[in-house]
Structures are given as C-alpha cells and as structure tokens.
Amino acid sequence: DIIQKISDKKPFVWIERMLSRAKAERVSELGIPGVGFVVESKRAWPYNTAGGALLGKVGIDGNGLSGIERQYERILHKPEVKTRFVRDAHGNRIQAISYDSESLELPKGDGLRLTLDADIQQIVDEELEAGRESAKAKSAMAILTDADTGEVIALSQAPTVNLNRDDIAPKALKNIIAETVYEPGSTMKPLVAAAALDEGVVRTGEMIDCQNGKMKVGPHIIKDVHPIPIVTFEDVLIRSSNIGMTKIGQRLGKDRLYSHLRTFGFGKLSELKLPGETGGILRKPEGWALVDVATHSFGQGIAVTPLQMMRAYGAIVNGGNLMPLRLVENENPQEFKRILSEKSANTIRDILFDVVENEHGTGKSAAISGVRVGGKTGTAQKANPEGKGYAAGKYMASFIGFVDATSIGVKNNYVL
C-alpha cells in the first residue's frame, strides 16, 4: 500500500493520518528522505457514547458529518488560514507570509454551550439501553425536557454509538428521534381532550357512554381493549377508552380537531431543526373520511415525531404554553405561544396524575415514591412497509410522563 502511494505522480501524498505522535516520531527518526509528519487536530468525545447520534461525527479534516457537528459546522469549524511560503533551493520553508498579515496560528471555531446535562444524559443512555434489552426491542428513544423553558436536558437513543471509534457504520449515526415518525396511539388522547375542554364541548365530571367496548363509525368498528360502560370524562383518559375519545373528537368536528393538532405543532418541524428532521404527517381535513375524526382522536391516522409529542406535552405541564425546544443555550429567544387556557391545561395535568395513581390507570408502573408522577401510555401498530394496513405483531410502545419537581424542592417541571 505504501509503495503504491509513493509511486503516485502527485507532489504530495498522505501515507497515514491521525496516527499517534509516538508512532509519527518513530517514523521520523528513520530519516527517510521526503517523509515527514505534521500535527493535526482531532475531535475527542470525553463522554464516549453519551448523546452520540445527537452530537454527531466529524470527518478526518474536522468537518461535521452528522448531528450537531454538522448543524453548527460554520460555528464549530472555522476556515483554514490561507498562506504562501518562501522556500530555499532544497525546498525547506524559510519564511511564511499571511495574505491578511495576521498570525498563522490555526483558527479555532467557537464553542457551543448545550442545554444537555452530561450526568443526566449518561443515566438516560444507560437506563434506555437496559430497557431496550429487557423489552427485546429493536430500538428505543428517550427525551427529557424542562417544560417551563423548552430546554432539552437529555436526548438519547439505543443502541448507542461511541463517537471515539473509527469503525462507525453510517446508519448508526442516524438520529432516529428527529427522523422517526410513528402513530402515537393513546398518548394523543390528553391533547385532544384538552382541546375539547378549551372549546367547551365537554366538561369535567360529564358522563360519557363508552358502549362496553364497541362502537360503529360508518363501515368501521371502533373497539376498546378493556371494555367499559358509562364513565366520567376523567375516566375516559384514565382508562384510555378509544370510544370515549371518538365521541369527544366528534363533538370537536374535523376542522376544529385539525386546527388544534396544528396548534400543538404537528405536521411541521420543531425549532430544533436537526439534520434529517421530519415534520410528520397530518393530512388536511378536506381529505378525511368519517372514521378519520375517530382515529385522530385516539392517535391513529396521524404520524408524529418524538420531538413534537414532547413539545405538546410541555404545554399541558406548564399551564398551556407551547415553548420552543432548545438544545443550545440562549439560541432561541424565549418566545412562547399560549395554546390552551391555564384551567384546561391544569385539568388535564391532574387527570394524568390519576393515570399513574388511580387503581384503574394504565400508567401505574411509572409511580415513584416521594414524588408525584403523571403521564400517559401509548401503543400503536407499525405501518405495513409492503402496502396498506399494519404489520402484524409489530408495535411502537411509548410513555410520556412528567414529574412535579416542586415536591422535591426544585422549581421546574420535567417531561420524559
């Protein structure tokens, strides 16, 4: 390989790059004419796998190839200094002149201060991988945000990737949190319920007939996994009734339902704008069939990203404000949009506490002694890649929860 390289007619060739200084010095000591070495910078990731796919990889010349490294390439990696050299008859450099008469010291890019907490990020990475292995899942994703500020505290996916390794497959660098779309299933129900409260088409304590688990909508049959009779509006969410949510969605109607889903941020990119990020799928109501009002009300027929769901739930937790998500401190101004009344948001928030605390709640496994935890479970079938319908036996399981951190002396509320 070396003979082939030095036989090239080019005036200069690399034999090897990014080797250790000790190895380079041993080669230099051999005194081979025309062979030398130059010192280059190399990116190192002190936390190894922490936030790997999010942070991204750089190329051998330091240019960002993926993730934040690519997104903020112009800030992190400044252009090289252009120079010209004066050499003697033997080719040795005797003088260097900068075109702009400035120092020839290689320029350094500016740093970025991320909102990520390195310690929490590592914990989330470890627990997520343990959960993925326990569930025998193909992959897993987790995001932790501060609902009051929109700051992303941790963003993780499993399997992880160690950025300090050189043998990373390109697909391992894919940020599946930004690029994955999925039908959210029952995690969509609290958002639709909040919109219905805001519109005044339903009220707390109202009795809703869930028809013992079976309801016909046009030619389609809507079913509940756990059939229930007439229950309160609150129990529709606590027990996660598809039929109860269908009736609530029908009261909203397709136009208002679509409008609120757009207001929550579905069908468009988040502020993070990570490489490869998608806006999901939210069709305009003109193309909806009769059953689409029902399916959208319990989280099918719409494709979302984890980023969109986290941002929407933040509005439930913080009292009705849709906050811009942030990964870089002080990058986005703290401009928020009120999308729910504080009363509606707080009502749904209290119901989600019951989803975890109530004996009939679907999220009892999320309970933590000493703090109040709320949240909602969701299970959705994966779309059939071969055509219409769903793939048999393949599911996306999710849970979006939040901790009332004031109970442990912390001001902010966190959503995971």
Tens digits of residue pLDDT in 273-297: 788 889 999 999 999 999 999 999 9
For the chain, list residues with pLDDT below 50: 98-102
Structure tokens at 225: 């996994």
Structure tokens at 265: 């941020």
Looking at residue 73, its pLDDT comes to 84
DSSP 81: P
3-state DSSP of 346-372: HHHHHHHHHHHHCCCCCCHHHCCCCCC
Task: Give the residue from 298, 301, 332, 314 showing the smallest Cα distance to 265.
Answer: 314
* Calpha distance 108→111 (Å, rounded): 9
Structure tokens at 78: 């400044």
Instruction: Note the pTM of the prediction, 2 decimals.
Output: 0.84
Looking at residue 399, its pLDDT comes to 94
Question: How many helices (H) and strands (E) would you count in the chain?
Answer: 13, 13
186 is catalytic: yes
108 phi/psi in degrees, rounded to 5: -110, 140
Burial per residue of 291-309, b for 16 or more beta-carbon CB atoms within 10 angstroms, e otherwise? bbbbbbbbbbbbbbbbbbb
What angle in degrees, to the nearest 10, is found between the helix axes of 189-199 and 306-317? Answer: 40
Exposed, middle or buried: residue 25 (CB in 10 Å: 0-12, 13-18, 19+)? Answer: exposed
User: Which candidate in 20, 134, 139, 186 is catalytic?
Assistant: 186
For residue 27, give Cα distances in angstroms to 12, 30, 204, 405, 407.
17, 5, 78, 58, 62
* Calpha distance 300→280 (Å, rounded): 13
DSSP per-residue string spanning 196-227: HHHHTSS-TT-EEE-GGGEEEETTEEEE-SS-
What angle in degrees, to the nearest 10, is found between the helix axes of 306-317 and 342-357? Answer: 110
How many Cβ atoms from other residues are within 10 Å of residue 64's Cβ?
Answer: 22
- DSSP H stretches of helix in 265-305: 290-297
Angle at 396 between CA 261 and CA 237, to 5 degrees: 50
CB 262 within 8 A of CB 282: yes
288 phi/psi in degrees, rounded to 5: -80, 145
Task: Give the residue from 179, 185, 196, 186 showing the smallest Cα distance to 344.
Answer: 196
**CA dihedral in degrees (87, 88, 93, 98; nearest 10)?**
-30
Query: Which is it for strands 152-158 and 140-146: parallel, antiparallel or unpaired?
Result: antiparallel
CB 210 within 8 A of CB 230: yes
Tens of pLDDT, residues 152-186 = 999 999 998 888 887 888 888 888 898 889 999 99
Looking at residue 75, its pLDDT comes to 82
Which position has the token pair 């400035």? 102
Which position has the token pair 């757009």? 262
Structure tokens at 85: 């050299």
Structure tokens at 6: 């030095």
Amino acid, res. 152? V
